[in-house]
Structures are given as structure tokens and as C-alpha cells.
């Protein structure tokens, strides 16, 4: 399956989940599929979308939080799996789009090209709900169960490698605007106060 197909399918099953996306391909494809402002699209801090999503999930236990991660980002912060497993947030679901390459910089291979078993690493870290999904039909069949079960779960989406700089363009806003769009969206949805009475 292609990354776009997998992410389109995730988006169809998203329900009311708040998403946090790793920078690059994951963020760009999620934006293309959802155009959603109640998603946070990392533009930096590669590897740490996972930690950001965990902090959000712990702070908002009433909200389903989906992490749309990518293999290159996961490699940069494998320790996040230990922290996620230790916190056992029931509302957090971790998806990893595994294309084996750094797609947005031209498709160069990810470290340890083709040999890493991310699902085994997650099991070793203490995740009990772990899947590695190879094809679109399998993903379509398993997603309803993934969506309804308690987290934390870890799902690897094995997709085809594709090349090309910025195949899918990024979201059309960034920096502080992303902060305020995301924060205000969560304030509206959950009745919480992200920003104080003076707006900061």
C-alpha cells in the first residue's frame, strides 16, 4: 500500500480523535487527507511528536489522541516507546508509517535499511497491543478494532517507498498560527482553557 492510501484510510476511521503528526511525509499526508485544524503538525523537533502526543494524551484523558508517526522520526527517539509504555495512556494510539526512507529529502534509506522490526521493539518496550500491517485490505479489516480498543497501542503501517521532494505539499500555515489554530480548536471542542484571559 502507499502512504497516501494508508493515511486516507486512517482519516476515514478517525472519528473524533485529535492527531499529532511527525514532521514531513506524515504531517503533509494527514493535512492532505483531513485539512484538520484539531491536528498538530510538527515542523521540527524530529522524533518528538511521540512525546508531544503523550503529553497531550495525559493532559486530555477524555480525548482520543492519535500519533501519526513515521519510521525516520521513530528512529530518532526510540526511547519514546519506553515512556509511552510506562504511562499506559488508554487514549493514545501510535501509528508508524514505515516506508523505509526519508521521503521528503529524496528517498534516502532510513538507518538499518529493511532490517528493523519496529513491532518487536514496541513489544520489548512493554506495549501489549502491537500490530504490523502490510496491505490496505488488512488495514481496512483491523482498523475498527484498533479504534475501539483501549490504548496504548502501536501499529506499524508498512508502505511502499516513494521518492520525490515534497510529493505532497505541507499545510498552509505554520509557527504561531498553528499553535493558536490548534489550541483554539481544542478549547472549542473540550471546553478547556489553553490560553489565558489575555490570550497567551
Partner 1 sequence: MDVTARIHEQLTKCGIKLAASLPDDWVAPLIERIAADKAMRHVRVAREAEAVAICSGAFFGGVRAVALMGATGLLTCTGELATLNLRHQIPVFLIVSQRGSIDDHRIYQEVQGRRTIPLLQAYDFPYHVVDRPDEVSSIPDAFETCRLQKRPFVLFLTRRLVKGEAVA
Pairing between strand 153-158 and 92-98? parallel
CB of 119 to partner 1, least distance (A): 19
Q: Given candidates 3, 7, 20, 157, which one binds partner 1 under the rule CB under 8 A? A: 20
- Please, which of residues 159-178 interact with partner 1 by CB under 8 A? 174-176, 178
The dihedral built from the CA positions of residue 59, 85, 22 and 148, taken in this order, carries a sign that is negative
Question: In this structure, what C-alpha cell is assigned to residue 76?
Answer: 530518532
DSSP state of 55: H
Instruction: Answer yes or no whether residue 136 interacts with partner 1 by CB under 8 A.
Output: no
Query: Cα–Cα distances in Å, from 187 out to 1, 30, 151, 196?
Result: 36, 21, 24, 11
Q: In sequence order, which residues have a C-beta less than 8 Å from that of residue 6 and are 6 or more positions away? A: 97, 136, 139, 157, 159
Q: Which is nearer to partner 1, 10 or 80 (CB)?
A: 80
Q: Given candidates 28, 69, 77, 99, which one binds partner 1 under the rule CB under 8 A? A: 77
Q: Which stretch binds partner 1 (CB under 8 A): 29-37, 57-65, 127-135, 138-146?
A: 57-65
Q: Using CB under 8 A, list all residues that contact partner 1.
A: 20, 40, 42-45, 47-60, 63, 77, 79-80, 82-83, 86-87, 174-176, 178-179, 182-183, 186-187, 190, 192-194, 196, 200
Amino acid at each position: 500500500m502507499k502512504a497516501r492510501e494508508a493515511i486516507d484510510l486512517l482519516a476515514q476511521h478517525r472519528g473524533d480523535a485529535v492527531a499529532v503528526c511527525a514532521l514531513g511525509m506524515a504531517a503533509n499526508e494527514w493535512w492532505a487527507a483531513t485539512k484538520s485544524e484539531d491536528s498538530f503538525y510538527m515542523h521540527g523537533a524530529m522524533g518528538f511528536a511521540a512525546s508531544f502526543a503523550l503529553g497531550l494524551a495525559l493532559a486530555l484523558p477524555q480525548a482520543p489522541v492519535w500519533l501519526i508517526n513515521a519510521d525516520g522520526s521513530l528512529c530518532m527517539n526510540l526511547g519514546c516507546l519506553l515512556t509511552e509504555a510506562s504511562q499506559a495512556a488508554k487514549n493514545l494510539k501510535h501509528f508508524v508509517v514505515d516506508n523505509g526512507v526519508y521521503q521528503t529529502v529524496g528517498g534516502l534509506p532510513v538507518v538499518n535499511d529493511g532490517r528493523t522490526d519496529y513491532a518487536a521493539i514496541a513489544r520489548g518496550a512493554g506495549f501489549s497491543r502491537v500490530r504490523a500491517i502490510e496491505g490496505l485490505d488488512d488495514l481496512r479489516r483491523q482498523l475498527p478494532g484498533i479504534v475501539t480498543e483501549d490504548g496504548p497501542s502501536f501499529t506499524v503501517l508498512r508502505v511502499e517507498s516513494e521518492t520525490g521532494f515534497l510529493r505532497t505539499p505541507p499545510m498552509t500555515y505554520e509557527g504561531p498560527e498553528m499553535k493558536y489554530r490548534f489550541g483554539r480548536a481544542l478549547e472549542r471542542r473540550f471546553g478547556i482553557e489553553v490560553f489565558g484571559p489575555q490570550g497567551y
